[in-house]
Amino acid sequence: LTSAEIEGIRARFPILRREVHGHPLVYLDSAATAQKPDSVIDAESDFVRTSNAAVNRGAHFLAGEATEAYEDARDTIARFLGVDDNEVVFTSHATEALNLVAYALGTASSGRGAGSHTDAARFALHEGDEIVVTELEHHANLIPWQELAARTGATLRYIPVLDHGGLDLDAAAEIIGERTRVLAVTHVSNVTGAVTPLDRLVPLARAVGALVVLDACQSAPHLPLRPRELDVDVAVFSGHKLYGPTGIGVLYGRAELLDALPPFLYGGSMITTVTMDRAEYLPSPQRFEPGTPRLSQAVGLAAAVRFVEEFGMARIAATEHALAARLLDGLVRVPGVRMLGVDNPAPRVALASIVIDGVHAHDAGQVLDDRGIAARVGHHCAQPLHRRFGVSASLRLSAGIHTTPDELDLAIDAVAGIRPFFGLGEGAGA
């Protein structure tokens, strides 16, 4: 993107006009939640103002219009991912999407299918089967698998992280084997920003017929996301990290898998026939969307997808690639600052977590906040990875489509000022 384009983009994010503690807001917390451009805010509020109605089944005009808007949103997401409409399920966030898949696999394992037209047993897990995750997962892509293992008697194994912060691919080749039924892995680490080498991991899972579940929360806003090209069975992301609304997530599932899986939640809008004893379920996506769906959120998310598509994910990725290099180069020069996973040679997005010698992450975050810089502090829902790095918390800076090189320089400069602010000299640890 040209700097003129980025200026144009910035003008479309109303929140960027805010000042914080007398400074222009420098928003470097997009990995936690992204800000929203006018077109997303307007799409949501226009829908509520003009077209709101319960979708499906309604005989009236607005119900038809709302149904169309909802299904158009699904179609926009499907095209964005290069998949079919019935492979896109709206959830409330990525967390729910991951829980849905893990729970449905557990139900399939208990011998309960989804109705007469399904084939859930193929995906059932049993004692002795293995679920493989990695040591760097967000808790949302770890705990549901712990629970699935507990429900089915399967064993949870993990691919360890090497000292440089990347995954141990030799260990992965040992761990992924005949017993593996599921490989669940993140596309981009929300702590190191590194892109997972899926080209090395997915073939290992494919060779043994395991399902591949991809947590694309941190990749969807920054890289082209094509689940079929990546050869994964499931990919999930949250709307709010892709410049869209909160309250909506996307579950992509390969049709063959979704058609076989039993539901996660049960109720209205998902059935063909119900008697007092039993129910028959609709195919995907309706089977997985019981209850009144998230209408304005879906419409807002579609607007967010159209927003990033104006520029193209490939161009966004190239621009942010340069930001990632600038962030890394700047941070490694600051004395007393350690960037987690800095030596990992993998490509990365513009996201970095740092530990500052002698200063707690929360105190460091406070110093940045005083200058109007929004950063995240804590374990970022990745406690095992922080434990692996030997720390309990870090400070994370993460860029978005509106981030300028100047903003990163400002943040790096502010980081350089943190140890002196606390009276700590160059290199002198506490």
Sign for the pseudo-dihedral over CA of 92, 98, 101, 104: negative
Verify whether residue 217 is a known catalytic residue. Answer: no
Mark 387-426 with x for binding to ligand PMP (rule: CB under 6 A) and - for no binding: ----------------------------------------
Query: Is residue 375 a contact residue for ligand PMP (CB under 6 A)?
Result: no
Question: How are beta strands 351-356 and 394-398 bridged, if at all?
Answer: antiparallel
Nearer to ligand PMP, 134 or 190 (CB): 190
Region from 91-99, 103-111, 115-123, 321-329 binding ligand PMP, contact rule CB under 6 A: 91-99
Nearer to ligand PMP, 215 or 320 (CB): 215
Pick one of 95, 284, 286, 353: the residue that binds ligand PMP (CB under 6 A).
95
240: Cβ–Cβ under 8 A, 6 or more apart, which residues?
33, 34, 93, 246, 247, 248
Query: Is residue 213 a contact residue for ligand PMP (CB under 6 A)?
Result: no
Q: Is there a contact between 251 and 106 (Cβ–Cβ < 8 Å)?
A: no
Query: Is residue 94 a contact residue for ligand PMP (CB under 6 A)?
Result: yes
C-alpha–C-alpha distance, residues 101 and 359, integer Å = 40
Query: Is residue 93 a contact residue for ligand PMP (CB under 6 A)?
Result: yes
**How many CB atoms are closer than 10 A to CB 230?**
17
Pick one of 138, 376, 386, 396: the residue that binds ligand PMP (CB under 6 A).
138
The token pair at 385 is 């990875």
Q: Which amino acid is at 28?
A: L
Q: Is 319 helix (H, G, I), strand (E, B) or coil?
A: helix
70: Cβ–Cβ under 8 A, 6 or more apart, which residues?
55, 293, 295, 298, 299
Query: Is residue 192 a contact residue for ligand PMP (CB under 6 A)?
Result: no
**Considering the complex, what minimum distance in angstroms separates the CB of residue 417 from ligand PMP?**
28
Q: To the nearest 10°, the Cα dihedral for 289, 40, 2, 189?
A: -40
**Considering the complex, what minimum distance in angstroms separates the CB of residue 179 from ligand PMP?**
26
186: Cβ–Cβ under 8 A, 6 or more apart, which residues?
134, 136, 137, 138, 141, 196, 214, 215, 217, 218
Nearer to ligand PMP, 124 or 217 (CB): 217
Query: Is residue 242 a contact residue for ligand PMP (CB under 6 A)?
Result: no
**Considering the complex, what minimum distance in angstroms separates the CB of residue 108 from ligand PMP?**
23
Q: Is 260 helix (H, G, I), strand (E, B) or coil?
A: helix
Give the helix/strand (H/E) hosting 388.
Answer: helix 383-388
C-alpha–C-alpha distance, residues 171 and 165, integer Å = 14
Region from 200-208, 215-223, 306-314, 351-359 binding ligand PMP, contact rule CB under 6 A: 215-223
Region from 70-78, 212-220, 252-260, 271-279 binding ligand PMP, contact rule CB under 6 A: 212-220
Give the helix/strand (H/E) hosting 281.
Answer: strand 279-281
Strand partners, 88: 252
Query: Is residue 219 a contact residue for ligand PMP (CB under 6 A)?
Result: no
Nearer to ligand PMP, 120 or 217 (CB): 217
Sign for the pseudo-dihedral over CA of 326, 329, 334, 337: positive
Query: Is residue 215 a contact residue for ligand PMP (CB under 6 A)?
Result: yes
Pick one of 67, 99, 118, 186: the residue that binds ligand PMP (CB under 6 A).
186
Give me the catalytic one of 381, 391, 405, 417: 381
Nearer to ligand PMP, 186 or 192 (CB): 186
Pick one of 238, 284, 296, 353: the residue that binds ligand PMP (CB under 6 A).
238
**Tokens 């104006």 map to which residue?**
310
Nearer to ligand PMP, 129 or 137 (CB): 137
Region from 210-218, 223-231, 276-284, 360-368 binding ligand PMP, contact rule CB under 6 A: 210-218
Nearer to ligand PMP, 238 or 394 (CB): 238
Measuring CA to CA, which residue among 73, 86, 67, 96 is closest to residue 292? Answer: 67
Contacts with ligand PMP: how many residues (CB under 6 A)? 13
Sign for the pseudo-dihedral over CA of 210, 211, 217, 223: positive
Nearer to ligand PMP, 301 or 414 (CB): 301
Active site residues: 381
Residues that bind ligand PMP (CB under 6 A): 93-95, 138, 140-141, 186, 190, 215, 217-218, 238, 381
